[in-house]
Chain A
Amino acid sequence: MDSASLQPSLYTVKAVFILDNDGNRLLSKYYDPELYPSMKEQKNFERNVFNKTHKADNEIAFLEGLTIVYKGSIDLFFYVVGSAQENELMLMSVLNCLFDSLSHILRKNVERRCLLDNMDGVFLVVDEIIDGGVILESDPQQVLQKVNYRADENPLSEQSVAQVLQSAKEQIKWSILK
Chain B
Amino acid sequence: RPRVASDPVAFSHLGSGSNPFQHLEKSAVLQEARIFNETPINPRRCLHILTKIIYLLNQGEHFGTTEATEAFFAMTRLFQSNDQTLRRMCYLTIKEMANISEDVIIVTSSSSYVFPMLSPQTTMLQAIERYMKQAIVDKVPSVSSSALVSSLHMVKMSYDVVKRWVNEAQEAASSDNVMVQYHALGLLYHLRKNDRLAVTKMLNKFTKSGLKSPFAYCMLIRIASKLLDETEGGHDSPLFDFIESCLRNKNEMVVYEAASAIVHMPNCTARELAPAVSVLQLFCSSPKAALRYAAVRTLNKVAMKHPSAVTACNLDLENLITDSNRSIATLAITTLLKTGSESSVDRLMKQISSFVSEISDEFKVVVVQAISALCQKYPRKHSVMMNFLSNMLRDDVNESVCLWLGGFDYKRAIVDCIISIIEENPESKETGLAHLCEFTRTATRPFAQVRKKGTAQNFKSAVSALAKFGAQNDDLLPSVLVLMQRCMMDSDDEVRDRATFYMNVLQQKQKALNAAYIFNGLSVSIPGLEKSLHQYTLEPLEKPFDMKTVPLATTPISEQKTDIAPVATSKLPERLAPSRQDIYQEQLAAVPEFHGLGPLFKSSEPVQLTEAETEYVVRCIKHTFARHMVFQFDCTNTLNDQLLQKVLVQMEPSESYEVIHYIPAATLPYSQPGSSYTLVRLPDDDPTAVSCTFSCTMKYLVKDCDPNTGEPDDDGYDDEYVLEDLEVTVADHIQKVLKPNFAAAWEEVGDEFEKEETFALASVRTLDEAVGNIISFLGMQPCERSDKVPENKNSHVLFLAGVFRGGHDVLVRARLALADGVTMQVTVRSGEETVVDVILASVG
Contacts and interface: CB of A to CB of B under 8 A. Distances in A.
Given A137-B179, A160-B5, A89 B11 contact: no
Contacts of A59: 288-290, 325
Contacts of A88: 256, 290-291, 293-294
Interface size class of B (residues with CB under 8 A): 35 or more
Given A89-B253, A138-B179, A138-B215, A163 B362 contact: no
Given A163-B11, A163-B15, A3 B301 contact: yes
A166 B60 contact: no
Contacts of A64: 362
Contacts of B85: 120, 124, 147-149
Contacts of A148: 84-85
A23 interface: no
A169 B50 CA distance: 28
B291 to A, nearest CB: 7
B744 to A, nearest CB: 35
Given A60-B327, A117-B20, A120-B85, A27 B58 contact: yes
Interface residues of A, number: 61
A32 interface: no
B58 A58 contact: no
B500 interface: no
Interface string A84-100: 00011111110000000
B3 interface: yes
A89 B60 CA distance: 31
A139 B149 CA distance: 17
Contacts of A167: 14-15
Interface string B289-325: 1110110010001000000000000000000000011
A147 B264 CA distance: 40
Q: Which of A64, A112, A158 has the most CB of B within 10 A?
A: A158
B153 interface: yes
Contacts of B59: 25
A52 B261 CA distance: 30
Contact of A5 (B153, B182, B183, B226): B226
A116 B19 contact: yes
B170 interface: no
Contacts of A89: 252-253, 256, 290-291, 294
B252 A120 contact: no
B253 A93 contact: yes
Given A8-B226, A116-B20, A163 B327 contact: no
B153 A58 contact: no
Interface in B129-185: 142, 145-146, 149-150, 152-153, 179, 182-183
Contacts of A149: 85
A16 B363 CA distance: 23
A154 to B, nearest CB: 10
A8 B92 contact: no
A91 B365 CA distance: 24
Nearest to A66: B362
B223 interface: yes
Interface in A42-90: 43, 52, 56, 58-65, 69, 87-90
A159 B362 CA distance: 52
Interface in A106-157: 112-113, 116-117, 119-120, 123-124, 127, 131-132, 134-138, 142, 146-149
A58 B145 CA distance: 33
Contacts of A62: 327, 360, 362-363
Contacts of B95: 127
A134 B223 contact: no
A54 to B, nearest CB: 14
A1 interface: yes
Nearest to A173: B18
Nearest to A120: B51
Nearest to B289: A59
Contacts of A163: 5, 11, 14-15
Contacts of A116: 13, 19-21
Nearest to A174: B18
Contacts of A119: 21, 51, 54-55
Contacts of B11: 159, 163
16 contacts: A1-B297, A1-B365, A10-B152, A39-B60, A65-B362, A69-B290, A89-B291, A92-B288, A116-B19, A123-B92, A134-B149, A135-B179, A147-B85, A149-B85, A159-B5, A163-B15
Interface of A: 1, 3, 5-10, 25, 27-29, 39, 43, 52, 56, 58-65, 69, 87-93, 112-113, 116-117, 119-120, 123-124, 127, 131-132, 134-138, 142, 146-149, 158-160, 163, 166-167, 170, 174
Given A10-B187, A89-B253, A131-B146, 14 more contacts: A5-B229, A10-B182, A10-B183, A60-B289, A62-B362, A63-B362, A88-B290, A92-B288, A116-B21, A120-B50, A124-B92, A135-B182, A158-B2, A158-B5
Interface of B: 2-5, 11, 13-15, 17-21, 47-48, 50-51, 54-55, 58-60, 84-85, 88-89, 92, 95, 112, 142, 145-146, 149-150, 152-153, 179, 182-183, 186-187, 189-190, 193, 215, 218-219, 222-223, 225-226, 229, 252-253, 256-257, 260-261, 264, 288-291, 293-294, 297, 301, 324-327, 360, 362-363, 365-366
